[in-house]
Structure 1
Amino acid sequence: MRHFLALDLKDDPALIAEYEAYHRDIWPEVREHLKTHGVTAMEIHRLGTRMVMLMETDDALHDAEAMALAARDDPKIRQWEELMWKFQAPTPWTPEGEKWTVMKPIFFL
């Protein structure tokens, strides 16, 4: 299944460059966490400060709630998420306390 999510970055060119550098070589624990929870592919695209993530999952293995709970309980994943929040900002439509927000599909060809 494909999931599209949105998140913003803080409007600071130095922070954006640092964020992109982290994503050129993500921590092995982050990669393993994603794969363990059924993420088969992931891309993040940026325009200005807006980012869109395409996450492809194996529905037999992917459970978003279980993935979130595992992330909360894993010190290394928590450390990554806390570090990323240095660069990230919620979109105007992001619910309080959340980060990446699921986008509504509106057109298919």
Structure 2
Amino acid sequence: MEKTLYIKYGSRVTSGMAECLYDRLLEDPELAPFFDGVDIDRLREHVADFLSMLTGGPNLYRGRNLREAHADFNISRDHFEKVMGHIARAATELAIEADDITTIATAIRTYEDDVVSG
């Protein structure tokens, strides 16, 4: 039985990724404005729960569906790609193996059309 990424990495792949990712996003001059007025701690929790589900852990995500949550932000494909780059760099910083980063990125990309609206 192959262990899940959730078991392999533990909180590093959930709360660790969410923490590192939002630190990066908030420092990015193009992406930071998307988070003005947003409760970042709550958002980090939602993303950690989402990553738990994506990596084979428990499905703890109780936020709005992704299409509804992102509908008003006019997120472009370029924005999405920039976030994906930050995800890859955050995962690398957390010593997640390259093949596993690809697996996580592939899973996240299945939601691209729910996030991109502009």
Superposition TM-score, scaled by structure 2 size = 0.41
Hey, which of these two has a bigger chunk of strand by percent? 1
